[in-house]
Homo-oligomer: A and B are copies of this chain.
Amino acid sequence: MDEPPIGDVFGEMIRDAFAVRTGVGPRPLAGGRVPRPVIEVIERDDGLINGAPVDHYLDEPSEWQPHDHRALRLIRGHVLDIGVGAGRTAIEIQRRGMPVTGLDTSRGAIEIARRRGLRDTVLNTIDAYASAPARYDTFLLLGNNLGLIESRERAPIFLDALARLANPGARIIAQGTDPYGTTDPVHVSYQRRNQDRGRLGGQLRLRLRYRLLATEWFDYLNCSVAELAELLDGTRWRLKSVDEQDRPYYVAVMELIA
């Protein structure tokens, strides 16, 4: 097989999932009649391939995980929702009357978030947006978006970009996953292989595929709380609290060092 062309995989699948959920717009059909659930295909660099339903990116608050609700109690001031996707969280924050900006690199996702009513959106990378004059009080990384810190090499750059966009007293509220509880031999040996190569155990090397398109390969980090604390060393952020009620998922609050 040739390599698939690179495109806005996330945007395409969000658009289709929105069409399936609402009945608005052309939908991917099974056998030409029954709308099929939209599935995200995730390839890992050890050859593991998984499919995951996309519909949850559109979940209403009544369908959220408990830690999403607890995370939202921690926000304050102007919120930057990083990796806003279809606006799952940001639309609820806006509904509560709080100022919120949604940032994403996917044009299609931003389009759907706006169509669903999100007013303030930014189509950009966090690195490029860090030069903007905007300032925020809360940076939100829900839906496992703590993974966007990627790696030991990338984390300080990412965290510095947030510091440049931060008002005094700002916080990061990030949901992560501790990868080390698994007993699945496929994952255990993947973690060991990562560590043997000097990577963090849960430093996933992934690409997404949807229909004819693929993303580039990228790192996505599942780290333990102890690893997160180490990654914060030497940055302008310190770990303030961690909610581990829904282990292996956790919500970490980091605050800007004054």
A-to-B contact residues, CB < 8 Å: 1-2, 4-5, 26, 28-33, 36-37, 39-41, 43, 45-53, 144, 177-179, 181-182, 184, 186, 209-212, 222, 247-249
Contacts and interface: CB of A to CB of B under 8 A. Distances in A.
Given A41-B49, A53-B53, 12 more contacts: A1-B47, A29-B182, A29-B184, A31-B222, A32-B248, A33-B247, A33-B249, A37-B52, A41-B50, A41-B51, A46-B212, A49-B210
Contact of A209 (B39, B49, B177): B49
20 contacts: A1-B45, A1-B47, A2-B47, A5-B47, A29-B182, A32-B181, A32-B248, A33-B249, A36-B50, A37-B52, A39-B50, A39-B53, A41-B49, A41-B51, A48-B211, A49-B209, A49-B211, A51-B52, A186-B211, A186-B212
Q: What is the total number of copies of this protein in its complex?
A: 2
A14 to B, nearest CB: 15
Nearest to A54: B51
Given A1-B43, A29-B184, A177-B31, A51 B51 contact: yes
